[in-house]
Amino acid sequence: MSRIASLTFYEFFAGGGMARLGLGEAWACAFANDFDPMKAQAYRANFRDAGHFREGDVWALAAGDLPGRADLAWASSPCQDFSLAGGRAGLAGGRSSSFFGFWRLMEALAQEGRAPRTLVIENVVGLLTSHQGRDFRALCAALAAQGYAFGALEIDAAGFLPQSRPRVFVIATRERVPATLVGESPYQTRAVRTAEAGLPEALAQRWIRWRLDTPPRRNTDLAGLLEPADAVAWHDAARTARLVSLMAPSHRARLDALVAAGASAVGGVYRRTRQVDGRRTQRAEARFDGLAGCLRTPRGGSSRQSLVVVENGRVRSRLLSPREAARLMGLPDSYRLPASATAALHLAGDGVAVPAVRWLAQRLLEPLLREKSVLAAE
């Protein structure tokens, strides 16, 4: 007889532990880290075995803080400097430079013969194009220098949850890659293929075209995740009218058509600043395709997602609740959110979609690492 041993992992920039939840019961967390006190508190509140969690700056850690040799190191480093909203400062940006705090540890582990067998680096899709691709090429060069082969997949949480949230997952490994894990994939998007094509020959030789199928069709939409209407606070009529007045003509026309048809619909709305006739103008942009817009970290009223609900010819609006944001990330209702709405929304907006991690783990990471996970029973 044999039994399957737990695969071990380190989780950096762990937040509230969403990657850990996604990896699931087949995995054992040996070490986790985040510098944010609120997220650290949430992590401890949701995982009883949180003694392995180290709160503080990743730059303050040393290789000796990391036990053993992990099968996987997961890093969802701060993404602001890779995103359009962050000004595309790239790897030299103040917050994204924390990636190098993580990478310094990986290099130190390699010197001790303890390099993780596989790495996953998750970030916004802008990682692929930051500084005309130079940042991505620098990342690939760093991985290659430590003996890793690598590839990338662009996975949108919309395949699993009613939220538009594309993210890039760079999977790097020192393991022999089974042929079944190499091939074509819908997640090898145009952005991924363009990044691959921009690699110099020495790095291109280490590129892996990871094969990952898409999951069964999602059967939930935004409306299905909402709290009961009498359990949330709604905007008054004047505030709703103000939000509607900010809509661009095409968005307003769509809303008016739904009202005229007597339809029932839920739309996610963000306020954005656009150039209109040469002037910066605030616009409310709504989508009624069953998806929420990509969750953000709340830094002001315009960064919070609103909902517009159309029913029986009536239009109402309100803010997305923290619990609804958690559901949009795949967190169960049993997950203990911070008491502060801002803190809870920040945790969700900074996280990784739980079912996307689960799919990647089941279909790629576990098959890749499985060969050494079977132990003979005593």
Per DSSP, the residues of 226-268 read PPPGGGSPPPPHHHHHHHHHTB-HHHHHHHHHHHHTT--EEEE
State whether residue 73 is helix, strand or coil: strand
Same domain for 273 and 127, yes or no, is no
The answer to whether 11 touches 31, Cβ cutoff 8 Å, is yes
Same domain for 54 and 203, yes or no, is yes
**What's the full length of the chain, in residues?**
378
The pLDDT tens digits for 210-219 are 999 999 999 9
Same domain for 159 and 208, yes or no, is yes
Range of the domain at 254: 228-320
pLDDT band at 302 (very low <50, low <70, confident <90, very high): low
Does residue 336 lie in a domain region?
no
pTM passes above 0.95: no
Does residue 38 lie in a domain region?
yes
Does residue 338 lie in a domain region?
no
Same domain for 21 and 137, yes or no, is yes
The answer to whether 306 touches 320, Cβ cutoff 8 Å, is yes
Same domain for 189 and 73, yes or no, is yes
pLDDT over 50 at 375, yes or no: no
Measured at the alpha carbon of residue 99, what is the angle toward residues 98 and 102, in degrees to the nearest 5?
95
Residue 46's H or E segment, with its range, is helix 37-46
Q: Which amino acid is at 310?
A: V
How large is the average pLDDT for residues 344-370?
A: 96
